[in-house]
Amino acid sequence: MSGTDVLLVALGAITLGGALGTVSARAVVRAGLWLVVALAGLAGCFLVLRAEFVAWVQILIYVGGVVVLLLFASMMTRAPVSGGELDRPRGPGVLVALGAIAGLSTLLVQAFGWSKVNQDDKDVGTAERVGDALFRDWVLGFELLSLLLLAALVGAIVLSRAPAAKKDDA
């Protein structure tokens, strides 16, 4: 294994650890901070794979924007900051997670096999190639994602302005 492979595996482990921390955190704010670790590790993976443009977009858009939006929305909706005990059984969730991992792994292996990234291609992650693919092949998904984020922001504003329900002390 080369130094690049070792670095990619280490960054992948950091990303996986951040993702596991995100889904297992009981507090919303801690989950958001673990999400920052996972997204930053993924940006590091993009840097190792020589896709600098994608890495910096990952940092600016996802880490900078989406996580701030998540934390801002959780504060606006008065979500509980500290997590309590989970009352739900964890068994079904673990089974669904393992099934999703198996299905996605099978899909990725069938789609890409065990092929390697061509390291001789110098413009793999350049802005020109990413923009060309984004606006030719993925423009519909890109626009749908922007509408989804807009709907989430509008929903957070509506929820924050709604009057709080009064509890009857009976």
- What's the pLDDT at 42? 92
Is residue 93 in a domain?
no
Measure the CA–CA gap between 95 and 144, rounded to whole angstroms: 30
DSSP string spanning 12-41?
HHHHHHHHHHHHH-SSHHHHHHHHHHHHHH
Does residue 114 form part of some domain? no
CA dist., res. 84 & res. 92, Å (int): 20
**Looking at the domain assignment, is residue 88 inside a domain?**
no
- Mean pLDDT over residues 18-39, rounded? 85
Residue keyed to tokens 């989430």: 152
Which CATH number is 128's domain given? Answer: 1.20.120.1200
d(CA 29, CA 47): 27
Q: Is residue 33 part of a domain?
A: yes
Within-domain flag for 167: no
Tell me, yes or no, whether 94 lies in a domain: no
Which structural domain range is residue 60 located in?
3-80+123-160
Tell me, yes or no, whether 68 lies in a domain: yes
Per-residue model confidence (pLDDT) at position 105 = 81
Nearest partner of 31 among 77, 66, 76, judged by Cα:
66
The pLDDT tens digits for 104-138 are: 788 777 776 666 656 666 666 677 887 888 788 88
Q: Is residue 46 part of a domain?
A: yes
Least confident interval from 10-19, 61-70, 74-83 = 74-83
Contacts of residue 66, defined as CB under 8 A and 6 or more positions apart, other chains included, come to 149
Model pLDDT, residue 142: 80
Count of domains for the chain: 1
